Amino acid sequence: MPPDNPKLPQDPTPIVGAATDITPLTHFGPKPPHERTAAEEAGTINWEAIAASARFKELLRAKRRFIIPAMIVFIVYYFALPVLVGYAQPLMEKRVFGAVNLAYLFALSQFFMAWIIAALYVRAANRFDRQARAIIAKDSSAR
Amino acid sequence: MTPALGMFLLFVLITLVITWWAARKSQSAAAFFTASRRITGWQNGVAVAGDYMSAASFLGIAGLIAFYGYDGFMFSVGWLVAYLTVLLVVAEPLRNAGKYTMADVLAYRLNPRPVRAMAALSTITVSTFYMIAQMVGAGALVALLLGSSHVSYQAAVIGVGILMIIYVVFGGMLATTWVQIIKAILLMGGTILLSLLVLAHFDWSLSNFFNAVTHVTYHDKGELVTKNFLDPGLRYTAANHGALDLISLGMALVFGTAGLPHILVRFYTVPDAKTARVSVVWAMALIGSFYIMTTFLGFGAATIVGRDHIASHGGNNMSAPLLAQALAGDIFFAFIAAIAFATILAVVAGLTISASTSFAHDFYTAVIHKGTERSPGEEVRVARITAFFVGAIAIGVAILLGKDANVAFLVALAFAVAASANLPVIVLSLFWKRFNTAGAVAGLATGLLASLVLIALSPSIMKVDPPTVIGAARHLIQRPPIFPLENPGILSIPLGFLGAILGTFLRREPEAEARFAELLVRANTGLGAEKAL
């Protein structure tokens, strides 16, 4: 909330409990950063400076360190299925549990592979979110 | 009135009430195109699943497994795994850097008019092909499910078309979202129930179930044969380049899902990139569980109903409804039939809104009127009119083609175009600084052309039919195929990337390179992203 300015009329926003950063009803003073529209934000941000900052480069590196290996693992694992089924059919027809053969188990395992990678990504992405929030906070305090 | 017709009408009534409620909230552009970006994570996840699991999944894959056993189940795998590309590469940057369409992200640092024109062309091509396939399927299916004596093919196509126009024109993205959510819940409910009934049939014993699957007896070309349906090779064999075709299909799924316009627009309906991520995870949970359960639907139909009975009662697309009938009688058959109907409606509504958003936002406003609306609300008005015409054209084409038309390849084509044209330019524009307008236009054009040409030369279009096949079911060109695979992905995706890369090297575009830093920061931090209303 902008500090009280005796020259402006009294802000009619009701104050209940603790002070918040809600934009006052009369819109005196600048909007808090999270309420600006995309159009209002254009031109107010120095993109090159952020892109060149150490924090941002660290975020990109962290993302690359997770996403590239994850993509490689899932693509290799997934395409192993048609390749093995197509070119190693006798092996895939081998029975493992009762009637259930390797081919079915391998296909079934693909579902769990996808879910596990997704879960690992969500965990990693929470870390990326914290890094991104730090970059944004630093940028809006600089402005 | 049959029970099936009654349940159809109940679903229609519920969705119309939703549309009426949504219509009052869908006046502004952001409300119409993105449901005000206020859909929550789980809601959007369920809607993505509802948007994605088409009749081809529910009825088609169950039928493929019932007829070809394991080879059909292999289809199921790719549909889920493909979401890892959406999750890891596309969803969050797209939400952070775009507004209404995929082209917003491309136009960020490139020359907007040529790029948006090409992206709109590719979006509309993907959506219309996919929609025509759905409409022909819908007509045939509804006529079959309700009995042709009650509803003809033409009446069914017109009915589906009019409903989808009403949802989109009046209710916009909000109504479409809720139709998709209800459909996904119905579809999951029906599939779980059907799977439990199959298990109950085998005395709740998985080993009884799998033992039955190892010896399925049916007539093949007049001879009685018994096959192990868990073994691969019933559909894809060395003779028809089976492994290559499966790899090609896998590529189209893994790279194409992340380029399907009607899936991508869903990520603009949530408040931020984190919610977009949560919604992909929800979608993956639902889609994965569904495709695992196709084991019970497909193999259950093969063992309980039998391939011969299905073939003589409407063909492999009827496997799931016939299984329901065999297990729990006519009322349950009607329930599953109504779910299939809901499934089609939700998917065609999603396709219509993505096609009309792209036309209004990318082509009409950005290309023809250079990026400014001439009057307030023009973009939404144009999108509504487009949705009407898209629906009318889809009805017309589906009726002209007729219910026996061989249209299954249109779905393969839609995925191939999405994978070969859309995905390469999205990825290169987000990750390659040197990428420019020439590259985007060349990539979109090569991917689109390569997919169209290769499909035209493939066994989907070129094949010599025996004289018993008549009318629209015959292949268009009665000659041996030039390109041997049904799925062009293995060739068209590398061509799309190659086109984009070579096009880029034709010239330099310093403005595009200069704005890369901005796109990179926006896509990765969400700074300056469009906010919820």
The mean pLDDT of A129-141, rounded to a whole number, is 85
Q: Which of B139-143, B234-238, B470-474 has the lowest mean pLDDT?
A: B470-474
Q: Which of B32-46, B130-144, B507-521 has the lowest mean pLDDT?
A: B130-144
Output DSSP code: residue B198.
H
User: What integer pLDDT is reported at residue A41 of this predicted model?
Assistant: 61
Q: Tens of pLDDT along B59-84?
A: 888 888 998 889 889 888 989 999 99
User: What integer pLDDT is reported at residue A1 of this predicted model?
Assistant: 46
Output DSSP code: residue B99.
S
Spatial contact of B247 and B490, defined as CB atoms under 8 Å apart: yes
Contact B517 A103 (CB under 8 A): no
Query: Is A23 at the interface with chain B, CB within 8 A?
Result: no
Pairing type for strands A100-101 and B223-227 reads unpaired
Average model confidence (pLDDT) for chain B? 88
- In whole angstroms, what is the distance from residue B323 CA to residue A16 CA? 61
Banded pLDDT at A17 (limits 50, 70, 90): low
Spell out which residues of chain B touch residue A117, defining contact as CB-CB under 8 Å.
84
Residue A22 is which amino acid?
I
Spatial contact of B229 and B74, defined as CB atoms under 8 Å apart: no
ipTM value greater than 0.90: yes
Q: Which of A26-40, B264-278, B475-489 has the lowest mean pLDDT?
A: A26-40
User: What integer pLDDT is reported at residue B28 of this predicted model?
Assistant: 86
DSSP B406-430: --HHHHHHHHHHIIIIIHHHHHHHH
Contact A114 B207 (CB under 8 A): no
Name the residue in chain A with its Cα closest to that of B528: A38
Tell me how close the Cα of A138 comes to any Cα of chain B, in angstroms.
Answer: 12
Contact A86 B247 (CB under 8 A): yes
Query: Is A45 at the interface with chain B, CB within 8 A?
Result: yes
Spell out which residues of chain B touch residue A99, defining contact as CB-CB under 8 Å.
207, 210-211, 213-214, 230
| Test the A interface: residue of B215, B229, B521 with most A CBs within 10 Å | B521
Radius of gyration of the CA atoms of chain B, in A:
23
Per domain, the residue ranges of chain A are 1-44, 46-142
Q: Tens of pLDDT along A41-96?
A: 666 788 888 988 999 999 999 999 999 999 999 999 999 998 998 888 888 888 88
Spell out which residues of chain A touch residue B531, defining contact as CB-CB under 8 Å.
34-35, 37-38
Q: Which of B37-51, B85-99, B133-147, B199-213 has the lowest mean pLDDT?
A: B133-147
The mean pLDDT of B388-414, rounded to a whole number, is 83
Q: Tens of pLDDT along B337-377?
A: 888 888 888 999 999 999 999 998 888 888 888 888 888 88
| Test the B interface: residue of A110, A113, A143 with most B CBs within 10 Å | A110
Average model confidence (pLDDT) for chain A? 81
Cross-chain CB nearest to B74 (options A85, A122, A139): A85
Tell me how close the Cα of B200 comes to any Cα of chain A, in angstroms.
Answer: 19
User: What integer pLDDT is reported at residue B462 of this predicted model?
Assistant: 80
Contact A85 B247 (CB under 8 A): no
Cross-chain CB nearest to A85 (options B83, B232, B292): B232
Element (H, E) at B498: helix B489-505
Contact A78 B254 (CB under 8 A): yes
Spell out which residues of chain B touch residue A124, defining contact as CB-CB under 8 Å.
none
Burial of B469 (0-12, 13-18, 19+ CB in 10 A): middle
DSSP B213-278: HH-EEEEETTEEEEE-TTSS-SS--GGGTHHHHHHHHHHHHHHHGGG-HHHHGGGGGSSSHHHHHH
Cα–Cα distances in Å, from B391 out to B50, B102, B128, B182, B348? 20, 22, 10, 22, 9
Tell me how close the Cα of B100 comes to any Cα of chain A, in angstroms.
Answer: 13
Tell me how close the Cα of B50 comes to any Cα of chain A, in angstroms.
Answer: 19
Q: Tens of pLDDT along A117-126?
A: 999 999 999 9
Contact A114 B243 (CB under 8 A): no
Tell me how close the Cα of B153 comes to any Cα of chain A, in angstroms.
Answer: 37
Q: Is the pLDDT of residue B492 over 70?
A: yes
Cross-chain CB nearest to A111 (options B244, B288, B522): B288
Banded pLDDT at B402 (limits 50, 70, 90): confident
- The residue ranking higher by pLDDT, B93 or A11, is B93
CB pairs A-B closer than 8 Å: 152
Q: Tens of pLDDT along B214-239?
A: 888 888 877 888 888 888 888 877 66
Tell me how close the Cα of B8 comes to any Cα of chain A, in angstroms.
Answer: 33
Match domain B3-21+40-525 to its CATH number in 1.10.3720.10, 3.30.420.40, 3.40.50.1820, 1.20.1730.10: 1.20.1730.10
Contact B525 A135 (CB under 8 A): yes
Query: Is A21 at the interface with chain B, CB within 8 A?
Result: no
Q: Is the pLDDT of residue B282 over 50?
A: yes
Q: At CA A111, angle to CA B210 and CA A93, rounded to 5?
A: 40
Spell out which residues of chain A touch residue B247, defining contact as CB-CB under 8 Å.
79, 82-83, 86
Q: Which of B134-143, B164-173, B265-274, B319-328 has the lowest mean pLDDT?
A: B134-143
Interface of A with B in 95-134 (CB under 8 A): 98-101, 103-104, 107-108, 110-111, 113-115, 117-119, 121-122, 125, 129, 132
Spell out which residues of chain A touch residue B291, defining contact as CB-CB under 8 Å.
111
The mean pLDDT of B295-319, rounded to a whole number, is 87
Contact B243 A83 (CB under 8 A): yes
The mean pLDDT of B155-167, rounded to a whole number, is 90
Among residues B258, B237, B255, B257, the alpha carbon closest in space to that of B246 is found at: B237
3-state SS, residue B402: coil
Spatial contact of B335 and B324, defined as CB atoms under 8 Å apart: yes
Contact A114 B288 (CB under 8 A): yes
